[in-house]
């Protein structure tokens, strides 16, 4: 996905040093606008409001640092996919833990690396005792590009080896999971190598219900804080 903007011409009668100053001031602003435009679209899957399982609403509660899901929703099943290392996975087997689920693809140039880095930073700053009670799960939104080897390289690059499960599967298997979670995923028509997808993180309590959501730009401290109340659910 890309967003383009026309850079205004500098006045023709301005000296070269002034024109250089104008460029230095204008370019960072335009780059920021482009990035934020892309981030906003990816965060909400092309709409102004995230679509949550059960069509629940996002509200603010004092007990959570992230946005709360109202009412809390049973986490849809994830039991037909395999971790990139070939091992089986069943979300239901994570009951008793605080689980953070997100949707990524390994060739993503911007949003997915941001999410992965934030997840690593959050997990690495938890106490060893807390890490044993927290699970991080990523689900692929790119069944064709997310092979075992490409995902392994992505996980290693973002220091999630041993910290996160990254689930892959066939297009049909993944599409069923996306539908259950109300996650949008489609190839970018202008750049076929890219995938437009919802980019939220879902916080699941020990009882298997979704209680919180976070944008890609979440602060790792939010997950660290919310792990405790999620474990009490």
Percent of residues, the chain, with pLDDT higher than 70: 73
> Highest-confidence range of 2-11, 16-25, 40-49, 107-116, by mean pLDDT?
107-116
Are residues 226 and 130 located together in one domain of the fold?
A: yes
Are residues 17 and 126 located together in one domain of the fold?
A: no
Strands 67-74 and 57-59, by their bridges, are: antiparallel
Are residues 22 and 89 located together in one domain of the fold?
A: no
Are residues 21 and 90 located together in one domain of the fold?
A: no
Instruction: Please compute the mean of the pLDDT values over residues 101-119 and round it to a whole number.
Output: 94
Domain that holds residue 159: 53-231
Are residues 129 and 201 located together in one domain of the fold?
A: yes
The domain spanning residue 199 has which CATH number?
3.40.30.10
**How does 123-137 read in b/e, with b if 16+ C-beta sit within 10 Å?**
beebeeeeeebbbbb
Instruction: Please compute the mean of the pLDDT values over residues 136-156 and round it to a whole number.
Output: 96
Per residue, the 3-state secondary structure of the chain, as one string, reads CCCCCCCCCCCCCCCHHHHHHHHHHHHHHHHHHHHHHHHHHHHHCCCCCCCCHHHCEEECCCCCCCEEEEEEEECCCCCCCEECCCCECCHHHHCCCEEEEEEECCCCCCHHHHHHHHHHHHHHCCCHHHHCCEEEEEEECCCCCCCHHHHHHHHHHCCCCCCEEEEECCHHHHHHHHHHCCCCEEECCCCCCCEEECCCEEEECCCCEEEEEECCCCCHHHHHHHHHHHHCC
- Give the pLDDT confidence of 212-221 residue by residue, as tens digits: 999 999 999 9
pLDDT for 25 equals 43
- What are 95's two structure tokens? 């009951």
Q: Residues 46, 184: contact at Cβ < 8 Å?
A: yes
Are residues 168 and 111 located together in one domain of the fold?
A: yes
Split into its structural domains, the chain has a count of 2
Residue 198: exposed, middle, or buried by beta-carbon count in 10 A (0-12, 13-18, 19+)? Answer: buried
pLDDT for 53 equals 85
- Give the pLDDT confidence of 44-83 residue by residue, as tens digits: 333 345 578 878 888 999 999 999 999 999 999 999 999 9
Are residues 35 and 66 located together in one domain of the fold?
A: no
Are residues 30 and 77 located together in one domain of the fold?
A: no
Per residue, the 3-state secondary structure of 201-226, as one string, reads EEEECCCCEEEEEECCCCCHHHHHHH
Are residues 114 and 23 located together in one domain of the fold?
A: no
**Distance of CA 133 to CAs 11, 77, 216, 227, Å?**
61, 20, 23, 9
φ, ψ of residue 70 to 5 degrees: the values are -125, 120
- Give the pLDDT confidence of 13-52 residue by residue, as tens digits: 445 444 444 444 443 333 333 333 333 333 333 334 557 8
- What are 92's two structure tokens? 């239901």
pLDDT of residue 2 exceeding 70, the answer is no
Are residues 23 and 63 located together in one domain of the fold?
A: no
Are residues 34 and 105 located together in one domain of the fold?
A: no
Are residues 28 and 83 located together in one domain of the fold?
A: no
């Amino acid at each position: 996905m890309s967003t383009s903007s026309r850079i205004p011409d500098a006045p023709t009668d301005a000296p070269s040093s002034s024109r250089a100053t104008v460029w230095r001031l204008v370019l960072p602003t335009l780059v920021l606008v482009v990035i934020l435009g892309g981030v906003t679209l990816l965060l909400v899957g092309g709409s102004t409001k995230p679509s949550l399982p059960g069509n629940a609403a996002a509200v603010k509660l004092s007990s959570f640092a992230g946005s709360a899901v109202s009412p809390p929703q049973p986490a849809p099943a994830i039991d037909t996919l395999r971790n990139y290392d070939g091992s089986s996975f069943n979300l239901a087997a994570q009951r008793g833990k605080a689980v953070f689920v997100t949707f990524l693809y390994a060739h993503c140039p911007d949003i997915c690396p941001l999410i992965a880095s934030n997840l690593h930073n959050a997990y690495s700053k938890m106490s060893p005792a807390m890490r044993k009670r927290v699970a991080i799960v990523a689900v692929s939104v790119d069944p064709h590009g997310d092979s075992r080897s490409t995902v392994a390289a992505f996980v290693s690059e973002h220091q999630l080896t041993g910290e996160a499960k990254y689930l892959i599967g066939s297009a049909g298997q993944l599409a069923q999971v996306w539908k259950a979670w109300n996650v949008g995923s489609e190839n970018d028509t202008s750049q076929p190598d890219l995938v437009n997808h919802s980019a939220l993180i879902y916080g699941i309590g020990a009882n298997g219900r979704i209680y919180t959501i976070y944008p890609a730009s979440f602060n790792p401290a939010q997950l660290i804080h919310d792990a405790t109340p999620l474990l009490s659910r």
